[in-house]
Amino acid sequence: MPENGELDAGTYLVTAFTAPFEITVPDGWEISGYWALGKDPSGEGGVFLPFQSAAYVPTHACAWRDALVDVDPSAEAFVDAMAAQVLTSSTPPVEVVVGDYSGFEFDHAAESDVDITDCDGGKICIHSEMVHECNHWYSAVTNISATASPSPARFRWPD
């Protein structure tokens, strides 16, 4: 798999992580630094799937500064933190298994009546790897679709 750029339709072996895995993509997808897949990620209806851990989840998705809380690395703790987040909603988690890994899948969406210009940094924070800045966020509220990771967002979080 290339480190960056557009991908041809096909199956790719990802070896940049502790456990190698395969991904299969149709035409029109791109990879960024081995850590994220996207299809028109900045456009309306774009899809973005990061391969990163979320160490912090804000208790309030709009007023997230100083509200990023350290989350235990378990899948259950992440699901609970996302479900408790203010100004977002989650569907009940469904247990999933991918190869030797188990986790949960759920839809997560920002509430549609949020005025994003009133949010910290002009964005709705979903989760972050950093305690003082949000690096996974929505910058617009429409029918948000950020993957099988954020018309709601789907997160796959292995144990």
pLDDT digits 0-9 by tens, 95-129: 888 777 788 888 888 887 888 889 999 999 999 98
Q: Tell me, yes or no, whether 103 and 130 share the same domain.
A: yes
Could you tell me if residue 104 is inside a domain? Answer: yes
- Which two three-digit tokens encode residue 21? 């895995």
Rounded Cα distance, 76 and 56, in Å: 14
For residue 70, the enclosing domain spans 56-142+153-158
Q: Which residue has the tokens 């456009």?
A: 43
| Residues 35 and 68 both lie in one domain | no
- Asked if 55 and 70 count as a contact pair (C-beta separation under 8 A), the reply is yes
Q: Indicate if the pLDDT at residue 46 is higher than 80.
A: no
Residue 37 lies in a domain: yes
CB 50 within 8 A of CB 36: yes
User: Which is more confident, 150 or 132?
Assistant: 132
In a domain, 41, yes or no: yes
Provide the domain count of the chain: 2
Question: Do 64 and 16 share a structural domain?
Answer: no
Choose between 125 and 144: higher pLDDT.
Answer: 125
pTM of the model: 0.70
Judge if 72 and 119 occupy the same domain: yes
**How many C-beta atoms surround the C-beta of residue 76 within 10 A?**
13
pLDDT computed for residue 41 by the predictor: 63
Q: Sign of dihedral through CA atoms 122, 141, 126, 136?
A: negative
Percent of the chain with pLDDT over 70: 84
Residue 157 above 60 pLDDT? no
